């Protein structure tokens, strides 16, 4: 069999086995809403339909390198015989200003939420996304690492992020508000939360998604 054809078949297979469970989880989530299920199963956050690719966040690590590749880029980079490594769900706190008291409180609540996942804690990773389009100062980065050791740090550009989210039907006001984004294991930004959403509401949605999805 031609090597290019083998690669295409492999890519198609991987796309199916990894994307399908997440798609089914999202479909189940939406189905519960449409069927008028009890409040314990209806989503608390705002669904993004269709989900946006993680590339629209333009996240960069503190070394300036892209924080994430798209699913397709990850597959294309696999060496012969190398398996695709499923990544965790991402809970990204997007802050458009300095991390003030409200920000610190929100980060603390998200940290406690993460711990409360218990056996599922490894299936979710937290990120703090700064929108000043510049790396954190060494002092701030060290403080965040000390206070929130399991939280990733990244930055992006505010205007670009707002425009990209708007193209996916999501309006954010990063000059005055912060948001939490949920990203599935294949890089779909599929839900977001405003400052009005509580940590308990985010927890409810996460538990539902983790229950329906075998990935991450």
pLDDT in tens, 175-208: 888 999 999 988 889 999 999 999 999 999 999 8
Q: Which residue has the tokens 């205007």?
A: 159
Report pLDDT digits (tens) over 171-183: 999 888 899 999 9
- 69: three-class secondary structure by DSSP: coil
Report the pLDDT value the prediction gives residue 67, as an integer from 0 to 100. Answer: 92
For residue 214, what is the DSSP state? -
Range name among 89-93, 94-98, 113-117, 155-159 with the lowest pLDDT average: 94-98
Who's near 116: CB < 8 A, 6+ residues apart? 203
Nearest-CA neighbor of 135 among 67, 54, 193, 56? 67
pTM across the whole model: 0.82
pLDDT in tens, 124-142: 999 999 997 677 788 888 9
Which pair of structure tokens corresponds to residue 32?
Answer: 């519960």
How many domains would you assign to the chain? 1
Those residues with Cβ within 8 angstroms of residue 29's Cβ, 6 or more apart along the chain or in another chain: 43, 47, 208, 209, 212
Measured distance CA(194)–CA(186) in Å, rounded? 23
Residue 133, classed as helix, strand or coil, is coil
Query: Which CATH number covers residue 28?
Result: 3.40.30.10
Q: What is the pLDDT of residue 209?
A: 87
Percent of the chain with pLDDT over 90: 45
Q: What residues make up the domain containing 157?
A: 3-79+86-212
The sheet with strand 188-193 has its strands ordered as: 46-53, 188-193, 178-183, 89-95, 124-130, 151-155
Strands 124-130 and 89-95: parallel
Tokens of 41: 């199963």
């Amino acid at each position: 069999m031609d090597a290019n054809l083998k690669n295409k078949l492999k890519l198609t297979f991987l796309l199916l086995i990894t994307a399908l469970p997440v798609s089914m989880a999202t479909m189940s989530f939406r189905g519960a809403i449409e069927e008028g299920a009890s409040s314990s199963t209806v989503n608390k956050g705002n669904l993004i339909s269709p989900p946006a690719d993680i590339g629209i966040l333009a996240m960069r690590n503190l070394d300036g390198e892209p924080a994430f590749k798209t699913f397709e880029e990850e597959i294309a980079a696999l060496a012969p015989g190398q398996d695709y490594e499923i990544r965790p769900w991402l809970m990204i706190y997007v802050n458009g200003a300095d991390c003030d008291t409200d920000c610190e409180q929100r980060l603390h609540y998200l940290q406690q939420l993460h711990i409360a996942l218990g056996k599922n804690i490894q299936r979710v990773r937290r990120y703090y996304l700064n929108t000043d389009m510049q790396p954190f100062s060494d002092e701030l980065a060290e403080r965040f690492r000390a206070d929130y050791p399991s939280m990733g740090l990244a930055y992006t550009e505010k205007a670009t992020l707002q425009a990209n989210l708007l193209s996916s039907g999501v309006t954010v006001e990063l000059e005055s508000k912060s948001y939490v984004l949920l990203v599935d294991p294949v890089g779909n930004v599929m839900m977001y939360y405003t400052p009005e959403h509580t940590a308990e509401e985010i927890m409810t949605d996460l538990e539902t998604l983790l229950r329906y999805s075998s990935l991450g």
